[in-house]
Amino acid sequence: MNPDRLFSPNPTTRDIARQLYQTVAKLPIVSPHGHVNPRLFADPNATFGDPAELFVIPDHYVTRMLYSQGISLDTLLTGDHRQTWRLFCENFYLFRGTPSGIWLTHELSEVFDVDEKPSASNADRLFDSVSDKLSSPEFSPRKLFERFNIEVLCTTDAATDTLEYHQAIRQSGWSGRILPTFRPDGVVNLDAPNWKTNIEKLSEVSGIEVKDYKSFIQALEQRRAFFKSMGATATDHAALTPATADLSDVEADVIFQRALKDESKPNDAAQFTAHMLMEMARMSIDDGLVMQLHPGSLRNHNEIVFQKFGLDKGADIPLQTEYTRNLLPLLNKYGNDTRLTLILFTLDETTYSRELATLAGHYPALKLGPPWWFHDSLNGMARYFDQVMETAGIYNTAGFNDDTRAFCSIPARHDVWRRASANWLAGLVVRHIVDMNDAHEMIQDMAVNLAKRAYKI
Amino acid sequence: MNPDRLFSPNPTTRDIARQLYQTVAKLPIVSPHGHVNPRLFADPNATFGDPAELFVIPDHYVTRMLYSQGISLDTLLTGDHRQTWRLFCENFYLFRGTPSGIWLTHELSEVFDVDEKPSASNADRLFDSVSDKLSSPEFSPRKLFERFNIEVLCTTDAATDTLEYHQAIRQSGWSGRILPTFRPDGVVNLDAPNWKTNIEKLSEVSGIEVKDYKSFIQALEQRRAFFKSMGATATDHAALTPATADLSDVEADVIFQRALKDESKPNDAAQFTAHMLMEMARMSIDDGLVMQLHPGSLRNHNEIVFQKFGLDKGADIPLQTEYTRNLLPLLNKYGNDTRLTLILFTLDETTYSRELATLAGHYPALKLGPPWWFHDSLNGMARYFDQVMETAGIYNTAGFNDDTRAFCSIPARHDVWRRASANWLAGLVVRHIVDMNDAHEMIQDMAVNLAKRAYKI
Amino acid sequence: MNPDRLFSPNPTTRDIARQLYQTVAKLPIVSPHGHVNPRLFADPNATFGDPAELFVIPDHYVTRMLYSQGISLDTLLTGDHRQTWRLFCENFYLFRGTPSGIWLTHELSEVFDVDEKPSASNADRLFDSVSDKLSSPEFSPRKLFERFNIEVLCTTDAATDTLEYHQAIRQSGWSGRILPTFRPDGVVNLDAPNWKTNIEKLSEVSGIEVKDYKSFIQALEQRRAFFKSMGATATDHAALTPATADLSDVEADVIFQRALKDESKPNDAAQFTAHMLMEMARMSIDDGLVMQLHPGSLRNHNEIVFQKFGLDKGADIPLQTEYTRNLLPLLNKYGNDTRLTLILFTLDETTYSRELATLAGHYPALKLGPPWWFHDSLNGMARYFDQVMETAGIYNTAGFNDDTRAFCSIPARHDVWRRASANWLAGLVVRHIVDMNDAHEMIQDMAVNLAKRAYKI
């Protein structure tokens, strides 16, 4: 890997980018939002399995691309692992110019010392050599966590989660800092799969019998307090749209009761989610947990794939998203309150300059999260910088988070962000928009400080 | 300030940009649309007040950014001015990489000889030195108007305005050319704050008793004629959407009468505004006033801030905007008429390549205004050039206007446009898309000629 | 014309772009979608007429720009041709920085040896010299087809077309490969102008009396088989939106019968088109014809121009377009079927990163067409590469097609694509995102292979 990769080809810009990057390249990684399984760290002897289990099967970025070219998901996900790995290697050319290509190349090179491109001809050899490494103690999740120099890693956990793995990590005496994040979608979105079961689970884990809206709120508050006691600093919320609305307790209860009786009306779930976002903001003001909102993904667009293979198989497709009107109720009620931090994400880049930067550049409670999912890429970051920063300034953004379940890709992802940030700042310096002193402060902020501040870490 | 600021770091592009820029850097400023208060120029002894009154309190770009970081608007807007200035200086780092940062740096340096970055440590000293300058006769609005080499400055004035300050300017014998612009939103949008009072005012100033739709139209025509007699060349219209619709006189009268009786139905205001845009186009064909349309801002999104501090406090948030269908009625009726010039603006950059450039590249009556408000920035201009010009060509655009109430920022804003234009043209030259002869003509057009032609100045 | 035109000014990037470009500059042109009239090639002695008939009158890119500046369409389209040519030359400056400017300059230089900019002063001279050339045998359509090194050119033909010119071309023994494309909009969209007449024509040419939905489907299948026998590899479909929906045969028949009786209900046409897109996908799975969808153009926005001058006069304006929900029914039914290739186009660039790249990066049946119409431009391509490729990869795209009726502009258009592709790849190489080996393969794919593969040529 070239040390100047991802930087502008302009020599002056590149020199400045390199200078700035070098000051943050080795900083500890702060990962305030992601989906790594805490179980990996609960057991000191856990392993990542074989190369297919690490690089292919759980990575929906990888499986979607292979599937898009007609490769069978059956074979990839449920077949022989060496065969899955072969398909991956043979088709590695599909990732040319994609962020997955950059991350995978980085992981293979930096973590596994593999500096050749995967291909049909080296597939078996790579399978063996990576397998060897993966079975050695130095490649356990805990060892890699330390090697990756991760200062803090936040997971995402259902409201009904007992956080047993987080408990185990704490009790093990291991020094790695892994914090839970409170994600109540499964109980808050009435149309969530298994909602009723989730509510029963919520009663159970909270010790509060959830039989109406009031007890539901109490149980949620109990869970938030528990998560907070376990180190959580944030909550996370998915919603089809960022609609927010204020229902009275009575209205909320009527809807909630209908759901308990399986008698929900068509608009109930949407209204209730909109209301619960308000309610979550209220609770955040009370307990100080930072609130994250990830709207606009139409999950499981491909029903056949969903029926056969379940969630997170690369078939979640973004929707056009509206923030200005949708967030109006919430922002008018809580947006002026400096005790609230609401971090917004989007899959609709058209909202960057039009809605998100203008809202975040005004409301004290708002911050913008980094480019998300498909936009967590070199061009996605460049667009984000160019479309957000002029209006919001960097200080209304929340730095970077990797949002990944692919643990071994974390250093690669943060490295791309740090390079992209350095490169963007170099572009400002070379055009005399900011000076080097400012740029040096800004690169530190973008690499770690903004994330720490926004997430109260 | 570096003389090559804002130009591409590529040496060839930069050389060409510099060459082109130098041919327009000193051209007089043509400012065909803005919100400077004409009162400043009516009294030869007027002053700008202290630094907080000039740089902070009236500038919603500045106050929104400070407020977004939790700084109290109470303190900023109604507190001690030296304290307001201190808060501004301490937090000047928030403007890194923003257009406000560029404009403020330019103003401080070029107008006030301040070449240090404002900060906590120099705040008091800067307050004193800028205050000194502001109280000297050479820093009166008229003197700065002359020093800024402004050829013409257009203000924006309510339909009910008596234009007394414009009268005073004319009568004073001062040579500065300051022209009014007819903005009838307060009487045309039935849901405007104080609409009824505005209608009474309209009756009064026009001498026509506005008691129905017919007399309303007559009064508007009277006002347009008066504005024209006072030098106006244009009108300006704000609307939530660019919807246009043709009501019969009877339909229009029914809606108007309902409004007079405080009995408006929910859709009345929207329908009436849509109709009045058509009517304004008709009048423009008659009297030759250029028509401007600024749609898509949801004003006063933050109700608490609005209740407490009023309009224009940085809480106006853009909305997604649709032009293709919305303008269909107006363009089908008047878009083929070369006597009409309708200059369109947008806060929704997604419409540049999809709707605005394609419409302006076809209809003889249409021109596109420059990047507006949040998009009046270096990146905003680059996007505008890249997304509009290929389809519309530069000759269907209206050059630049600064649209500002911050008088002292006018040279900075035009300088950014001229640099951005030169830089864009240099990018075309260096890729052999246009040659230097063409680029030399184009930079003159972009700097002043297009604006003069579009606004009939 | 500069040999390095359109490349980045960065010397390293430019060098690499040039290297890559040179490997594809002379490759045969593959033109899998366009609107060239096959009649031109049916008669070995056909000519292009005079310069106005070749460059101005049929080119809606040219006439729209001239019209937008107030030049009369009457004069341009129906006046003296020398006068039309003069207006074009006098106003050639309007095309500065536009793709038309690039194409026209290329055509004039490469095809007609004209290396001066058209202007008022050389208009007459150019008219004469280009006329001379056009009347010589070496400038016949067939000769230019050969000189342009076109490997295959696909036309677009109504479902009711007898393909007589295609027959004549085949029978003439001429070696040029010109293939029809099946475009059934005129019979499938119930609101198409002259729908009833088209249905009668369909009965006639298919030999199947179209009296109900069932016979309609049979007739369409007959026509597809005929087109296929004549070499067609693809179909093409225009629709206001990409809505898809599955009607039962009975529902479809009810709507179809209403249309036959001129009793269509308001929503019938939209529903039927949505259903027929599904039906066309089904047929494509059966017969292997590649399916193209071009949605989102509001045709004939300017009714006056349409009434007076008809279709395709530069007054078709794009609409915001939604794919994620609209394509859901079709993709759930057929999107997982590798026998289907559905190539999507858009006039709404906001869908690139949000919807199109994410869909194409998942569904095996989907490919993305190149930037279309107003976006078939240097910046349009750059945006497409930057917004599509990271998520879809190049292998879910369909290479380039020129989509033009202006035959002589075909080499210019493919040249822009090849240069833009080489330049984009050079940008990846210079930032070490792909290496030169990969880039060399990718430029071949982008220049011809992807198009051939997607269109099964």
Q: Per-residue pLDDT tens for C95-153?
A: 999 999 999 999 999 999 999 999 999 999 999 999 999 999 999 999 999 999 999 99
Show which of C139, C163, C194 is a domain's final residue. C139
Same domain, C169 and C317: yes
Residues found in chain A: 457
- Is B3 within the bounds of a domain? no
Q: How far is the alpha carbon of C382 from chain B, nearest alpha carbon, in Å?
A: 10
Closest of C194, C54, C192 to residue C135, by C-alpha: C54
- CB contact under 8 Å between B374 and A357, yes or no, is yes
Closest of C358, B384, C363, B387 to residue A347, by C-alpha: C358
Chain B residues within an 8 Å CB radius of A360: 68
Contacts of residue C137, defined as CB under 8 A and 6 or more positions apart, other chains included, come to C143
- Is C337 within the bounds of a domain? yes
Q: What is the pLDDT of residues C230-271, one digit of tens each?
A: 999 999 999 999 999 999 999 999 999 999 999 999 999 999
Closest of A380, A375, A96, A17 to residue C425, by C-alpha: A96
**Angle at CA of residue A151, ends A145 and A157, nearest 5°:** 75
The first and second tokens of residue C372, run together, are 């279309």
The first and second tokens of residue B29, run together, are 């400023």
Same domain, A114 and A162: no
Q: Which string of DSSP letters, residue by residue, matches A203-234? A: HHHHTS---SHHHHHHHHHHHHHHHHHTT--E
- CB contact under 8 Å between C324 and A318, yes or no, is yes
Structure confidence at residue A311 as a pLDDT band (50, 70, 90): very high
Element (H, E) at C79: none
**Angle at CA of residue B214, ends B210 and B216, nearest 5°:** 40
Structure confidence at residue C276 as a pLDDT band (50, 70, 90): very high
Closest of C178, C196, C179 to residue C187, by C-alpha: C196
Same domain, C277 and C392: yes
Structure confidence at residue C39 as a pLDDT band (50, 70, 90): very high
Same domain, B94 and B185: no
Amino acid C104: pLDDT? 98
| Spatial separation of the C-alpha atoms in residues C356 and B112, rounded to whole Å | 51
| Spatial separation of the C-alpha atoms in residues B82 and B49, rounded to whole Å | 12
Chain C residues within an 8 Å CB radius of A301: 324, 328, 331, 359, 362
Structure confidence at residue C224 as a pLDDT band (50, 70, 90): very high
Element (H, E) at A35: none
Beta-bridge mates of residue B31: B153
**DSSP single-letter state for residue C268:** H
Q: How far is the alpha carbon of C2 from chain B, nearest alpha carbon, in Å?
A: 7
Beta-bridge mates of residue C298: C317
| Spatial separation of the C-alpha atoms in residues B85 and A123, rounded to whole Å | 65
Closest residue of C to A10, CA-based?
A: C10
- Is A4 within the bounds of a domain? no
Q: What is the Cα B284 distance to its own chain's centre?
A: 20
- CB contact under 8 Å between B12 and C7, yes or no, is no
Amino acid A386: pLDDT? 98
Chain C residues within an 8 Å CB radius of A1: 432
Structure confidence at residue A88 as a pLDDT band (50, 70, 90): very high
Structure confidence at residue A433 as a pLDDT band (50, 70, 90): very high
Half-sphere exposure of B377 (CA within 13 A, CB side): 25
Q: How far is the alpha carbon of C350 from chain A, nearest alpha carbon, in Å?
A: 7
* Torsion angles phi and psi, residue C237, rounded to 5: -140, 130
Q: What is the pLDDT of residues B14-29, one digit of tens each?
A: 999 999 999 999 999 9
Q: Which candidate from C324, C431, C442 shows the least CB-CB separation from A9?
A: C431
| Interface with A, mutate which of B13, B59, B64, B68 (most A CBs under 10 A) | B68
Amino acid B235: pLDDT? 98
Same domain, B128 and B41: no
- CB contact under 8 Å between B393 and C96, yes or no, is yes
Q: What is the mean pLDDT of chain A?
A: 98
Percent of chain B with pLDDT over 90: 100
Chain C residues within an 8 Å CB radius of B383: none
Closest of B352, B336, B334 to residue B390, by C-alpha: B352
* Torsion angles phi and psi, residue B263, rounded to 5: -120, 30
Element (H, E) at A291: strand A290-295
The first and second tokens of residue B95, run together, are 């403007």
| Spatial separation of the C-alpha atoms in residues B55 and B48, rounded to whole Å | 10
Chain A residues within an 8 Å CB radius of C332: 302-304
The first and second tokens of residue A135, run together, are 């079975």
- In the chain, the amino acid numbered C158 is A
Contact B355, C338 (CB under 8 A): no
- Is C176 within the bounds of a domain? yes
Same domain, A234 and A160: yes
* Torsion angles phi and psi, residue C31, rounded to 5: -120, 85
Amino acid A451: pLDDT? 98
Number of structural domains, chain B?
Answer: 2
Q: What is the mean pLDDT of residues A144-152?
A: 98
Same domain, C182 and C106: no
Chain A residues within an 8 Å CB radius of C366: 68
SS3 state at C199 = helix
Element (H, E) at C343: strand C342-344
Range of the domain at C126: 47-139
Q: How far is the alpha carbon of C344 from chain B, nearest alpha carbon, in Å?
A: 17
**Angle at CA of residue B330, ends B327 and B334, nearest 5°:** 135
Amino acid C408: pLDDT? 97
**Angle at CA of residue C221, ends C219 and C226, nearest 5°:** 95
* Torsion angles phi and psi, residue A69, rounded to 5: -100, 15
Structure confidence at residue B234 as a pLDDT band (50, 70, 90): very high
- CB contact under 8 Å between C387 and A379, yes or no, is yes
- CB contact under 8 Å between B361 and C64, yes or no, is yes
Q: Which candidate from A13, A331, A391 shows the least CB-CB separation from B374?
A: A391
Q: How far is the alpha carbon of C221 from chain A, nearest alpha carbon, in Å?
A: 27
Chain B residues within an 8 Å CB radius of C10: 10
Amino acid B276: pLDDT? 98
Same domain, C198 and C330: yes
Q: What is the mean pLDDT of chain B?
A: 98
Show which of C139, C171, C194 is a domain's final residue. C139
| Spatial separation of the C-alpha atoms in residues A57 and B440, rounded to whole Å | 58
Same domain, C167 and C125: no
Contact C298, C306 (CB under 8 A): no
Show which of A139, A171, A203 is a domain's final residue. A139
Q: What is the pLDDT of residues B49-64, one digit of tens each?
A: 999 999 999 999 999 9
Q: How far is CA C64 from CA A161, C52, C84, in A?
A: 62, 15, 14
Q: What is the pLDDT of residues A194-244, one digit of tens each?
A: 999 999 999 999 999 999 999 999 999 999 999 999 999 999 999 999 999
**DSSP single-letter state for residue C177:** -
- Is C395 within the bounds of a domain? yes
Beta-bridge mates of residue A185: none
- Is B200 within the bounds of a domain? yes
Same domain, C132 and C165: no
SS3 state at C240 = coil
- CB contact under 8 Å between B361 and C99, yes or no, is no
Q: What is the mean pLDDT of residues B260-275?
A: 98
Q: What is the mean pLDDT of chain C?
A: 98
Contacting partners of chain A (3+ CB pairs under 8 A): B, C
Q: What is the mean pLDDT of residues B319-343?
A: 98
CATH number at residue C132: 1.10.2020.10
Q: How far is the alpha carbon of C51 from chain A, nearest alpha carbon, in Å?
A: 43
- CB contact under 8 Å between C364 and A67, yes or no, is yes
Amino acid A2: pLDDT? 97
- Is B4 within the bounds of a domain? no
Amino acid C53: pLDDT? 97
Same domain, A42 and A58: no
Q: Give the per-residue SS3 of chain B.
A: CCCCCCCCCCHHHHHHHHHHHHCCCCCCEEECCCCCCCHHHHCCCCCCCCHHHHHHCCCHHHHHHHHHCCCCHHHHHHCCHHHHHHHHHHCHHHHCCCHHHHHHHHHHHHHHCCCCCCCCCCHHHHHHHHHHHHCCHHHCHHHHHHHCCEEEEECCEECCCCCHHHHHHHHHCCCCCEECCEECHHHHCCCCCCHHHHHHHHHHHHCCCCCCHHHHHHHHHHHHHHHHHCCCCEEEEEECCCCCCCCCHHHHHHHHHHHHCCCCCCCHHHHHHHHHHHHHHHHHHHHCCEEEEEECEECCCCHHHHHHHCCCCCCCEECCCCCCCCCHHHHHHHCCCCCCCEEECCCCCCHHHHHHHHHHCCCCCEEECCCCHHHCCHHHHHHHHHHHHHHHCHHHECCCCCCCCCHHHHHHHHHHHHHHHHHHHHHHHHCCCCCHHHHHHHHHHHHHHHHHHHCCC
Amino acid A320: pLDDT? 98
Side-by-side strand order, sheet with C178-179: C29-31, C150-154, C178-179
SS3 state at C152 = strand
Amino acid A323: pLDDT? 98
- CB contact under 8 Å between A364 and B97, yes or no, is no
Q: How far is the alpha carbon of C330 from chain A, nearest alpha carbon, in Å?
A: 10
Same domain, B359 and B285: yes
pTM of the full predicted structure? 0.98
- Is B426 within the bounds of a domain? yes
Q: What is the mean pLDDT of residues A129-149?
A: 97
Q: What is the pLDDT of residues C390-443, one digit of tens each?
A: 999 999 999 999 999 999 999 999 999 999 999 999 999 999 999 999 999 999
Q: What is the mean pLDDT of residues A135-150?
A: 97
CATH number at residue C209: 3.20.20.140
